[in-house]
Amino acid sequence: MILAFAGARHSAIGLALPTLVLVALAAVASPLVAETTRRLVVIPEAIIQIALGVVLGPDVLNMVRVDPVVSALSTLGLSYLMFLAGSEIDLRQVHVTSSVRVVIGWLASLAMALGAALALQSWGLIDHATTVALCLTTTALTTLIPVLRDTGVFTTPLGTSLLTLGAVGEFGPIIVATILLSTASVGLTSLLTLGFVTAAVAAGVVANRVRPPRWILFLRRHLHSTSQLPVRLSLLLVLALTYFAQTLGLDILMGSFAAGVVVQVVIAGEDRAAVTSKLDAIGYGFLVPIFFVVSGVTFDLTALFAKPRNLMLVPVFLVLLLVVRGLPAVALNRRVLSRRQRISLALYAATSLPLIVAITEIGVTQGRLGPENAAALVAAGAGSVFLFPVIGLRVQGRRRN
């Protein structure tokens, strides 16, 4: 029996290995391509990884297959991406007034997105207004961080506003998608979501207040040993909260994001940089590239080019992202940021991709969204990651303003 189990496990991994080798090759190639083209145009690695996935996928070279092992690693990569997004949020630096302003802005984005999506649905251009609207209200904070971290933006008022806006732009759509796209009743899902968020916040508060010196010293001792205990505890928290969310019938991304926020509180102090570096290495060095490459592999290029109207929707969605996310950001930060900073913030806020991939996948799986709409949304998200941060940096002048 043991040999049979080992043989089955070996067979599953063996089938996935060729694809994983090609995915790893694409992950290694992406920074090389980015560096080679940097003098001509700045291309985010996520875009390159998706493009390489499309080339390797069934619509071009057809060299890879997404089996259960590869699919599970891709899902884990998306969950870890949300965890990294949550870990960028320092609750102690979030002001109540600023948070209220950002939440109001996101609700305004949601209302605008629903209005636009309902209009597109009435014209027969999209299948499910709610799914499309949720995609239009997302912000790709985790995609922006690698692009903007070296510019010094996050040490400025613009960076503080962006982190808060990005957090709401990622967590807000997750909550609403969990409620509205769930197969359970809206009332029950809402109560479970409220309970989960409350429990996560309580865990963060307890972690911030209960910090026994002996325990902190114990963790510090094991930070650079082979046990890597703080890193293991962080991963345990990710998996535990993700499993808890799934058990409640909620979206697993909610658990991942909440785990990131809690870990940010726990690792505060002189060891934060060391722990963050190790967690980033696991994500950006391993799991996250798998998610982006596999997203390219599963991207339905055929559906996108099947009809002219599908291609037409790409610029439409791109403009709507800028309008829906950008206008509230500009309007609600008039007294906080300069004109150039507000324009940059609007462009950064309109940058979106990971959650668009996740939400469209849910929509297609549930039969709510057609593959052509999903492909157009993902293409628009990729376009936003390619265009908006570059324009935002130019408007900002790459100054630490």
The CATH number linked to 179 is: 1.20.1530.20
Q: Do the domain assignments include residue 285?
A: yes
pTM: 0.88
Task: Show Cβ contacts of residue 81 under 8 Å, excluding neighbours closer than 6 positions.
Answer: 142, 256, 283, 287, 288, 291, 354
Q: Do the domain assignments include residue 14?
A: no
Q: Do the domain assignments include residue 351?
A: yes
360: nearest Cα among 89, 108, 131, 157: 131
Q: For position 334, what pLDDT does the model report?
A: 87
Q: For position 4, what pLDDT does the model report?
A: 46
Contact (CB, 8 A) for 170 and 139: yes
> Side chain identity at 1, as an amino acid letter?
M
CA max distance for the chain? 69
CA distances from 252 to 47, 132, 256, 285 (A): 24, 20, 7, 22
Range of the domain at 264: 81-291+309-396
Q: Do the domain assignments include residue 70?
A: no
161: nearest Cα among 343, 347, 333, 338: 333
Alpha helices by DSSP H, listed for 88-212, are: 96-122, 129-136, 141-148, 157-180, 186-209
Q: For position 296, what pLDDT does the model report?
A: 95
Q: Do the domain assignments include residue 163?
A: yes
Torsion angle, CA of 362/367/372/378, rounded to 10 degrees?
Answer: -10
Torsions phi, psi for 212 (to 5 deg): -60, 130
For 181-190, letters b (16+ CB in 10 Å) and e give bbeeeeeebb
204: nearest Cα among 88, 92, 79: 92
Query: Tokens representing 342?
Result: 């507000």
The domain tally of the chain equals: 1
Integer Rg of the chain from CA: 21
Stated length of the chain: 401
Q: Do the domain assignments include residue 10?
A: no
Q: For position 224, what pLDDT does the model report?
A: 80
Query: Alpha carbon 5 to chain centroid distance?
Result: 36
390: nearest Cα among 31, 36, 44, 45: 44
- Per-residue confidence in pLDDT tens, the chain, 401 aa: 444 444 545 566 667 888 999 999 999 999 999 999 888 887 889 999 999 999 999 999 999 989 999 999 999 999 999 898 888 776 666 665 667 888 899 999 999 999 999 999 999 999 999 999 999 999 988 788 777 776 777 778 888 888 888 888 888 998 898 888 876 677 888 888 888 888 877 777 776 666 666 777 787 788 888 888 888 988 888 888 888 888 877 778 888 988 888 888 777 666 778 888 899 999 999 999 999 999 999 999 999 999 999 999 999 999 999 999 999 999 988 888 899 999 999 999 999 999 999 999 989 988 999 999 999 999 999 999 999 998 998 888 754 44
Q: Do the domain assignments include residue 6?
A: no
Q: Do the domain assignments include residue 64?
A: no
Torsion angle, CA of 277/283/284/288, rounded to 10 degrees?
Answer: -170
Task: Show Cβ contacts of residue 68 under 8 Å, excluding neighbours closer than 6 positions.
Answer: 12
Angle at the Cα of 328 (from 376 to 352), degrees rounded to 5? 30
Residue found under tokens 């010196």: 213
231: nearest Cα among 243, 222, 240: 222
Residue 225, number of CB atoms within 10 A of its CB: 8
Contact (CB, 8 A) for 151 and 393: yes
Query: Alpha carbon 152 to chain centroid distance?
Result: 21
Q: How far apart are CA 244 and CA 374, in angstroms?
A: 29
Three-class SS state of 123: coil
